[in-house]
Structure 1
């Protein structure tokens, strides 16, 4: 489906389940996750199952269409692989009591290397999990240790081989450009290992420096804790990203989105729902949702703090998405993908004044080498992907009011 085409109410749903618990919190992490007791996790699973069971009431309250057919399911976190098998089974039971999960559905489980017990892996596969995404971040031991990751390169490679031997159809990994002490040589080592070990999907993110993580706060303060002094300069991190964009497509990992690389048959169908504005529902802490309405769509999200999760049955601050918001989202989500946006379709489906202002900005960005227009599609260049936030701001400057 073209990224600018409105999905129909009958579109299959994407489901995200947040499991916000970790064995240890990484210094760069800015997610709503942390270390909790077994009792806290058990109580959370109970609340999660109640939220899943109540979602038809939630959708009705919001006057939103809720597709009951699910073709992608993503368990993220946190580290969902730390759940007990019985807890994972309860979550899937709750999902199947509310939704119909289609045969061949893409079902993904996030995990940390060395933190997937045999019994949990067996249960996950019994429940239909066919993709596992490993939070590797780096295959260089010093870099992993600097941000609080407990695994080594050997742990990672052994885990990947173990998952492959167990019959997991797709095993992918995340890498981060810009970790403390990272160099061109060490980054190249991570790329070499990642492309030689049989992985089917790679995500490459640039280290995010912000006040929502311990490492980010220390870097901004100019401090020494959490190895902040070892974080490479922004220019070096950008160079590492460019290296990945050049290296990975030459080694069977074509880029298909700003941060994602995989052959066509192994690309994430779930994430594509976000980029194409298909309906999706999120359950659990800090989970976000977008459902369609007869004349637009609605977004809503759960609380970011564990103490408040489950306190309200109905989202307290849903956001209506109307024509202007739809136009903006179509642009910045569609341009994340390498295939870009269909210019003619965007022109046909958008109000004339909105498209005209954006088209003028696009012409300027094309002249600056941040975008190209090719076969009726706007696409970001490599430099445009590096500066994507600036590109999106310039494109939408005349749209926002």
Structure 2
């Protein structure tokens, strides 16, 4: 039986962070109750699937009332065949409580992804975060005391913030027994300080990678670093084009069939999702597009995309024709070939969006 990954989108937040591009709304207890019931309704349509990874994200899942979180966790175990390799829940420092951690651990959660972003209050204020450095450190200690694996999210290259604060944040974090850190470059998805231009982006990017490497964190994906092989099993499904099902509004899903790959997304608002008036937008991915998807997502991994695997799946002629068309990227040191794999160089990682767009342009041309 094939194992799937499950993703649950909990869109509630106490406030909207200035940099965030994910779908979220301000927390409301009445809406929360109705939304969880709507997720239970959707869960039943996939009853009996075998599951090996679960990820509850958002938004801020830890804003849920304990009873509503418990109802969701019980529904997961009641409706799916569970062969868990990893169970992650996202939390923000201000909403980490002993009661929530105990509940999560009791239901098999073994990994928390904590939205720290920075350990300096003025930087957190700049980002629009509502927690303090003290709350972040307290949350880290609580999570580790429960014996849970911890991923810490941080943001670097923040407009007007001194780069030293990023490195100091990493210095503090790596003194804890944490085995996973996600480091994201600040994104201009909003108008916040959109005129800011940074000419030191490459230096900052390399500084983060080099510092984490010096502390034993190996980069396994463009924004993710792990010790002792503790990479995210669930997120790796996205990059390796493995099957996953998303629940809740704005959640995406993907299933590979023998002859086709199907993607779908729950489009609409929370209110429409609750009232069952949302749209399930489905798309059958053509085989040529599947090839580009495999490359575009797979190249995010430091190990890259195995060329022989691509040939086995899509044919030698397709792959060799593609390789001829991307010689420019190799000549300009954006990509390289290592151990039979197509990989990004450091320069290619820095300009990931442009490299991926180059691949897509080949598909559409």
Whether TM-score is above 0.5 comes out as yes
In the alignment, what sits opposite 1:145? Answer: 125
Normalised by the length of structure 1, the TM-score is 0.86
Report the equivalent of 1:364. Answer: 328
Match of 2:301 among 334, 337, 358: 337
Please, which of 125, 129, 133 is the counterpart of residue 105 of structure 2?
Answer: 125
- Mapping 1:217-256, distance limit 5 Å: 217-220=191-194, 222=195, 233-256=197-220
| Matching residue of 1:228 | none
Q: Specify the SS of the correspondent of 1:14.
A: strand
Does the CA contact (< 8 Å) of 1:187 and 1:240 recur in 2? no
1:177 paired to 2:177: no
Distance 1:94 1:198 in 2: 33
| Alignment deviations for residues 179-225 of structure 1 (CA, whole Å, 9 cap, x no partner) | 24322221211121121122111001111112xxxxx22434x5xxx
5 Å-filtered alignment, 1:1-400, equals 10-55=1-46, 68-102=49-83, 104-168=84-148, 170-210=149-189, 216-220=190-194, 222=195, 233-312=197-276, 316-351=280-315, 354-400=318-364
Asked whether the equivalents of residues 209 and 217 of structure 1 are also in contact (C-alpha less than 8 Å), the reply is: yes
More deviation, 130-139/233-242: 233-242
Aligned-residue RMSD, C-alpha? 1.9
Select the structure that is richer in strand: 2
Structure 2 length-normalised TM: 0.94
Secondary structure of residue in 2 paired with 1:89: helix
**RCO greater where, 1 or 2, for CA within 8 Å and sep 6 or more?**
1
- Please give the alpha-carbon distance, in whole angstroms, between the structure 1 residues aligned to 2:230 and 2:87: 13
Of residues 288-297 and 248-257 in structure 1, the stretch that sits farther from structure 2 once superposed is 288-297
Distance apart, 1:22 and its partner CA = 1.0
**Structure 2 gap segments, 5+ residues each:** none
How far is the alpha carbon of 1:263 from its aligned partner? 2.0
**SS at 2:264's partner residue?**
strand
CA distance in 2 between counterparts of 1:55 and 1:310 reads 18
8 Å contact from structure 1 (residues 16, 73) kept in 2: yes
* Corresponding residue pairs, total: 365
Q: Which runs of 5+ in 1 are unaligned?
A: 1-9, 57-66, 211-215, 223-230
Contact 1:51 1:310 in 2 (8 A): no
Partner-residue secondary structure (3-state), 1:106: strand
Distance 1:205 1:277, change over 3 A: same
CA distance in 2, matches of 1:88, 1:157: 24
Whole-Å Cα distance in 1 between the matches of residues 17 and 202 of structure 2? Answer: 22
